[in-house]
Structure 1
């Protein structure tokens, strides 16, 4: 079995199991076309089979996994339509949140946003995928929370767990970590300048570029 861990702040064991599986997908510990044992998952996470099954049922309802009777479960790679829908949701939520973060974020929050972008830059310079992608997620999460949208941040994190099944986008079509960092720079620059319109436009451009890349990967596969 892969390396998974229960998050410390989940509201229930079932929630914790669901989040542990999402995290495993995002980290590449759980991959498509492999069947995993529910019993082994429960043992690995140190929970009984009941919350393990309940957490997996929630993920199955969301379309992230398929439960295979008497065999276990497997993660489901998203289709091009799934990706378009997911990025459509993100386009509806994240650009206006970037505007709000620019216009209403505190100086302390903006300092944290700058530090998050710097962490991405450092990871990109090292070619460190393992550090870059958590820094990427952290920046998006921080922008949403700076905008006062914690529930939206939780929704976006779950959606990103699904698109993560396609693997790191830097490996396709010549898009490097430096390229992806560069797409985030105008977002953060606008936020720090408190230019709401520019922050919204830059976030929209970044997400549209991500959509075009990911739908291309899905079609090619």
Structure 2
């Protein structure tokens, strides 16, 4: 029988998104990434709600959303089991991201407005600092905002939603382990190199960097 968590697990604080359901889903994603919520363990919405200090309803709704993303599976009368994406799942998701995200970013070569460059660079540096400090939650926050704002420059809202959904489905696990710090730092450094390539109008370099960047999704789960 799968282990069931019935005590405090050390969940991250809820953020400032508009909906409580969204805040909970974001916090749970971070807890999965850091290994706070462990693969194969069943967690109940009421138990996690007690830790968040909120009612079970938004927690249950958020966990159902994450079931759709393949990060949890419902266990009848018990709660939700953490599911670790398989190597095949990650390979398929990464392939789709390469088909969609890489060309979208490459099209921005030479087209990143000067006004937004400082903001993107600040986010890239924030992600790098968090990675070097061994702060996976801080890294994930900055990484998400960097990619969201960069893709937003395409002006294609559907593309942004699609890519962010794929990023959520390819959620990495265990980023708090010591071996992950080097990988996070390498990924964060690529943000800066990618931005430099885009500003310089070097489309081929941007393609190479973005493809390598996505390879971390496969490699971090091996």
TM-score w.r.t. length of structure 1: 0.76
2:55, 2:144 → 1: CA distance?
31
Question: Mapping of 1:151-166 within 5 angstroms?
Answer: 151-166=158-173
Determine helix, strand or coil for the equivalent of 1:74.
strand
Unaligned runs of at least 5 residues, structure 1:
none
- Choose which of 55, 63, 68 in structure 1 pairs with 2:62: 55
RMSD: 3.1
Structure 1 counterpart of 2:95, from 88, 92, 95: 88
The 1-side partners of 2:40 and 2:17 are apart by 30
Change (3 A) 1:142 1:19: same
In the alignment, what sits opposite 1:213? 219
Aligned partner of residue 81 in structure 2, secondary structure? strand
Deviation larger for 89-98 or 112-121: 112-121
Which is worse superposed, 137-146 or 63-72? 137-146
Aligned to 1:68: 75
Q: Give how far 1:83 is off.
A: 0.3
Q: Is the 8 A contact 2:172 2:217 kept in 1?
A: no
Q: 2:142 maps to what in 1?
A: 135
Of 10, 23, 36 in structure 1, the residue corresponding to residue 30 of structure 2 is 23
CA distance in 1 between partners of 2:197 and 2:173 (Å): 30
Per-residue deviation, residues 33-85 of structure 1 (Å, max 9, x unmatched): 22222112233344433443333222222211012222221211000111012
Looking at structure 2, the residues matched to 68 and 183 of structure 1 have their Cα atoms a distance apart, in angstroms, of: 39
Q: Which residue of 1 aligns with 2:198?
A: 191
Verify the 8 A CA contact 2:123 2:146 in the aligned structure 1.
yes
Distance in 1 separating the partners of 2:178 and 2:79 = 31
CA distance in 2, matches of 1:102, 1:198: 9
TM-score normalised by L of structure 2:
0.75
2:4 alignment partner in structure 1? none
C-alpha distance in 1 between matches for 2:22 and 2:130: 31
Q: Secondary structure at the match of 1:105?
A: coil
Distance between the aligned counterparts of 2:173 and 2:33, measured in 1? 10
